[in-house]
Structure 1
Amino acid sequence: MASPHNGAGAMHTHRHGFTLIELMTTLAIAAILIPLSIPGWQRFQENHRASALSNQVLASIFNVRSNAIISSHNTVLCPSPDGRQCSHDLDWSVGLLSFQDRNRNGQHDDGEAVIAMIQPDEMRGIRLLTSKGRPRIGYRADGRSTGTNLSLRLCTRDDRLLRKIIISVGGRPRVEAAQPGVSCSND
C-alpha cells in the first residue's frame, strides 16, 4: 500500500500563505515606493489644510458682512493673538477676532459684541498673511467694505503660496488658487 507521502498515488497538499522570497520581494518594492509617495502625500495634506482654512476664513468674512447688515452696525475682522484686541500685524496666523464695532474705531472695546474667533491652532500649520496697509477687514451697516481691496495669502511654512482670498473694494470675497511655484513673499 502506498504511503500518502510517496509513490504514484501520493496526496498533494496545498500550502496556504507566502514564501520567504515573495515576502522579501514585496518588502523591497514597498521600501522603494513609500519614500516616493511621501512628498505627494504631504502636498495633498497641505492643499487640504489650505482648502479647509480658506473655507473657514471665507465663512468668517461672510458672517462678519451679514452681521453688519443684520445688526445695522459696522463690523470688523482682524488678527488678534489674545482674542480681545486687534493687532496691526500683517501675519494673521496669530488668530482672528470678529466683532461689532459700534463706535467705529476699528478696535474691540468693552460692550461690543464678539461675533466669532479663530484660534491659532485652527490655522492647521498654514500662514495667513494680509496685504500691506490693511490690518483688518471692516464692513459698514450696508454691507460695503470700509476700506480698499485686500488680499489674504495662505502660505506654507517654507513660503509657498497655496491660495488667496481676495476682497474687492465693494466687500465681496473670493478664493483664487495659486499658480504652481509662486512664493508668498513675491506676491
Structure 2
Amino acid sequence: MKKSLGFTLIELMITIAIVAILIGIGVPSYQNTVQQSRIDDAKKLINSALSYAKNTAIAHNRPLYMTVSGNTLTLATSTAVPLAQATVVNKTTVTTDSTSILSFTASGTPRITFRANGTIGAGNTLRYCTGDSGIDIAVGINGDPVSTAASC
C-alpha cells in the first residue's frame, strides 16, 4: 500500500473556507482600529498645538490668535487678513487621511485668542472628523483642552 504525500481536495477547500471566514471577521475590526488610531494621532497633534499656543503667549507676554484653515491650525500674532500680514508663529497640519476635516464647531468668531496670561476670552470647540467618527476638543477659558468622542 502506498502512503499518501499530500492533501485531498476536500482538506484544501475546508482550509481555504476557514481562512476566508477569519479574514472576513478581522477586516472590519482592523478598519476600526486604523480609524481610532487616526483620531488619537489628531488628538495628540491638536492638544500639542493648543499647549504650544498657551505657553508661547505666556512666554512672550502677548496675545496670540489660532485659526483653522483647511486642516491646518495657524498660530499668529494678529488676525490680519490676509494672514501673510501677520507674523505666523506656528502651523500644525492635522491630516491623517484624505477624508479628515478639522473645524470650529461654534459659529461666530472662528479663532481662539490666547491672552498674554495663557487664558482665552471665551471657550471654543474644535472638531476633528475622519469617516463617521471623530472628537470634539473643548478649549476652556484657562486654555486647557478637554476631548470627547463625536459622531460626524
Q: Normalized against structure 2, the TM-score is what?
A: 0.80
Distance change >3 Å, CA 20–CA 134, structure 1 → 2: farther
| Aligned residue in 2 for 1:115 | 89
Question: Which of 95, 101, 108 is equivalent to 1:127?
Answer: 101
Shift in Å, 1:20: 4.4
Distance change >3 Å, CA 21–CA 14, structure 1 → 2: closer
1:76 & 1:123 partners in 2: Cα distance? 24
1:2-151 matched pairs, under 5 angstroms? 20-81=9-70, 93=71, 95-99=72-76, 101=77, 105-107=78-80, 108-110=83-85, 112=87, 114-119=88-93, 122-124=95-97, 125-131=99-105, 132-145=107-120, 147-151=121-125
Distance change >3 Å, CA 163–CA 119, structure 1 → 2: closer
Aligned to 1:171, the other structure's residue is in SS state: coil
Q: Rg: which structure is higher?
A: 1
More strand by share: 2
Q: Superposition RMSD on alpha carbons, in Å?
A: 2.5
**2:73 is aligned with what amino acid?**
L
CA contact (8 A) 1:49 1:126 kept: no
1:119 & 1:135 partners in 2: Cα distance? 17
Distance change >3 Å, CA 130–CA 111, structure 1 → 2: closer
Shift in Å, 1:172: 1.6
More helix by share: 2
1:110 & 1:153 partners in 2: Cα distance? 27
Q: Normalized against structure 1, the TM-score is what?
A: 0.67
CA contact (8 A) 1:50 1:126 kept: no
Aligned to 1:50, the other structure's residue is in SS state: helix
Higher relative contact order (CA 8 A, sep 6+): 2
**1:129 is aligned with what amino acid?**
S
Between 128-137 and 50-59, the greater mean CA deviation after superposition: 128-137
